[in-house]
Structure 1
């Protein structure tokens, strides 16, 4: 069984990369079993806030700062906050030792078919990824930022694909942006007002049964062939 570590990075701020990261974990869980969404940037906090589970008990990155030696992936996964099958390992604005991050990522990815790593504003952990989704907007500024990020990821030898974030009447297509950046086009996220409404109602991204956003996320997962494998069963995590 293939264990994927899917990195998600926004070429610029405000493109919804964290929302996409959570939705990927939520949508994939129904097909592959337990998944985990991980904050890969520690300067800020709150992937659990994006997932609307900041009130749920469980470990966050600062709680793991003193971990030493081998980490049991199943035990760690069980200890993370969740609302449903997808679990979240969130930052709290505090640095975590590199060896702890590496050990925890390795442990989680060893038992989950999909680990979604929200790279945030840092590419520090991109080398841990098997694939990277680069979220880019359609403006000249977005394209310049995306080109710089793609070049840095490419130097590390990690496959990167483009996800265009666009308005409903955006004249530029994902294929055009991908061609400009010389990247494979994974999909397009069209603005969906339901995502904002869900966040205001403390509803996690990806939990709707239908809508433009969840349809696009499902297409991304199919394009990446994420749902071909299966990780640890949800029953094992909740036991």
Structure 2
């Protein structure tokens, strides 16, 4: 969903509390939210998938918790389970899979709920950002652009970057940097300790392509399906620790890709400047538009038929972020495990344009 129902119009900069509770608890939760400085997003499980990732905190009742557990929603931080009576121990144990941190009774535990919600707002570390890059069609160059965005983020921004390769049949984004033989953790090796991923530990365990640039890729020769929980947990851990997280997304529409598209700040679609590329990119955007409206386009030249990047953006019907001119010797450099990102390189300029937009969307632009 691209919109979430709310009890009031959303105010920019206000912490959002997703309330998945029945009518008997709604007033109690709203009172606690107001006391802790939140605006309530009042929704149902059918309409709240994006708000689940975006809201500062979540309050669920027993019925909603059971429904979310049955739906297999990914674990997240800052979740409270509330009820008009003591929360059932069996439900409480199950709710831990959602990331629930406490089970409280309303209105009796109102002060405890307000205190917990206030704590969730207080520890404001440097926020990060997340962007997914996907090809509008095969061979569009999405992996190269994703690698360039991550490399520029690691080099030019304070903090670090985390590049996630979710394309299990893409050959491996580590080949672009020439670090395919480096020791370190890959997706099949990742275990969720209690459902959580810690960014510092992840950075220490995975291969690095450059200072501050960590890569998490599939392991060659191992048939392993990356799960929704693992993908979302890694993205959120990186973003919470201040990383710029860049996801190389395959051209699939499965549950993993959907979860990633829902939780990132921006989705970048890459296409070549050809008639077929334009048509395929339009279909790709149409497929994802019901899931997110945070879409941008990068068009890669040359344009053998004379189509301009602006014309393609108009046809595809999303904002043009960059027109990527052909770059001499780029393919040769990548074959050698090098990614040429000079200050005036077309690839570097396109990566900068994507970074500028994702930081702006995430509210981190200067």
- Following superposition, the deviation at residue 112 of structure 1 comes to 3.3
2:347 corresponds in structure 1 to 213
Structure 2 residue 290 is matched with structure 1 residue 155: yes
2:217 corresponds in structure 1 to 90
How big is each residue's C-alpha offset from its partner over 1:205-225, in whole Å with a ceiling of 9 and x where there is no partner? 53x454222233223323444
For 1:169 and 1:119, the matched residues in 2 are separated by: 27
2:172 corresponds in structure 1 to 46
Structure 2 residues without counterparts, runs of 5 or longer: 1-125
Give the greater-gyration-radius structure (CA).
2
1:71 corresponds in structure 2 to 197
For 2:322 and 2:214, the matched residues in 1 are separated by: 25
1:236 corresponds in structure 2 to none
For 1:130 and 1:223, the matched residues in 2 are separated by: 10
What SS class does the counterpart of residue 32 from structure 1 fall into?
Answer: coil
Structure 1 residues without counterparts, runs of 5 or longer: 231-239
Distance 1:66 1:229, change over 3 A: closer
What's the Cα RMSD here? Answer: 2.4
Match of 2:324 among 189, 204, 211: 189
2:307 corresponds in structure 1 to 172
What SS class does the counterpart of residue 13 from structure 1 fall into?
Answer: coil
Structure 2 residue 356 is matched with structure 1 residue 222: yes
1:60 corresponds in structure 2 to 186
For 2:287 and 2:239, the matched residues in 1 are separated by: 23
What SS class does the counterpart of residue 38 from structure 1 fall into?
Answer: strand
- Following superposition, the deviation at residue 103 of structure 1 comes to 1.9
- Following superposition, the deviation at residue 44 of structure 1 comes to 4.1
What SS class does the counterpart of residue 214 from structure 1 fall into?
Answer: helix
Question: Which of structure 1's runs of 4+ aligned residues deviate more than 6 A?
Answer: none
For 2:180 and 2:193, the matched residues in 1 are separated by: 22
What SS class does the counterpart of residue 329 from structure 2 fall into?
Answer: helix
For 2:177 and 2:363, the matched residues in 1 are separated by: 24
TM-score (structure 1 length as normaliser): 0.85
Greater relative contact order structure (CA < 8 Å, 6+ sep): 1
Match of 1:22 among 123, 129, 147: 147
1:13 corresponds in structure 2 to 138
What SS class does the counterpart of residue 33 from structure 1 fall into?
Answer: coil
Distance 1:67 1:225, change over 3 A: closer
TM-score (structure 2 length as normaliser): 0.57
